[in-house]
Amino acid sequence: MKQIIRYTLALAAFATVAAPMMYGPALAEPAPAASAWEIGPIIGRRNYSVNMPLRPTPVREGFTIEFPGPERADGHVHYVTFDPGSLEGASKIRFTYRIDAVPGVRFVPQEFPERPATIALFFQRRGDNWRAKGKYEHYRWFAPRDSLQELRPGTHTMTVSLDDEWISVLARPRSERPEIFDQSLKEAGRVGFVLGSRGGYGHGVFATGPARLTVTGFEIL
């Protein structure tokens, strides 16, 4: 029987960085609390999201993350994930978010500052050692390249099928080892989104001025 895991974050009024914006009434259906999400990744005892809190900030419509900046040395945010349990039987992920920023603010990949900053969906098999060697090459999976979105102000939705051509941490396609991909879904330990650039999906982003990302919807269907 198809397993459906549904997480919908409520919509409500929210004061943006630049000016107040009003939204409709909150949705009744609950979502993982901000406390369930982790800003990381944490590898060993090091959090690669430099100068970021461990948890996002809860708001009525979901949760927010303030981008660090204005310089790389001020910090950068990489992975934002939670533990959904197994993704076996799921068919797609739908993610809705809003970015608010003061006019003129740029989003900058900390590793490749000359490239556009991007956001992408991600999941990880439980038990990953983060070394991407041997079997662990296929423990982290990133959404297809054509699903990446550049960071820019506004409200955006990203819907990606789990039958699409996801890629592993060393850019090996799902179709090359579909049985391993399916096992990774079955044994999923983290799911969420990553910030970086093409060629460095989760390698971190900062902003040159006041900016925030608000997650208003995350559904595993």
Output the average pLDDT for the chain: 88
pLDDT tens-digit readout, 77-112: 999 999 999 999 999 999 999 999 999 999 999 999
Look at the pTM and tell me if it is higher than 0.75: yes
The yes-or-no verdict on residue 11 having pLDDT over 70 is: no
Confidence of residue 69 (pLDDT cuts 50, 70, 90): very high
Confidence of residue 33 (pLDDT cuts 50, 70, 90): confident
Confidence of residue 151 (pLDDT cuts 50, 70, 90): very high
Confidence of residue 22 (pLDDT cuts 50, 70, 90): very low
pLDDT tens-digit readout, 156-201: 999 999 999 999 999 999 999 999 999 999 999 999 999 999 989 9
What's residue 122's pLDDT?
97
What's residue 199's pLDDT?
84
- The CA distance from 206 to 17, in Å, is 16
Percent of the chain with pLDDT over 70: 86
What's residue 213's pLDDT?
98
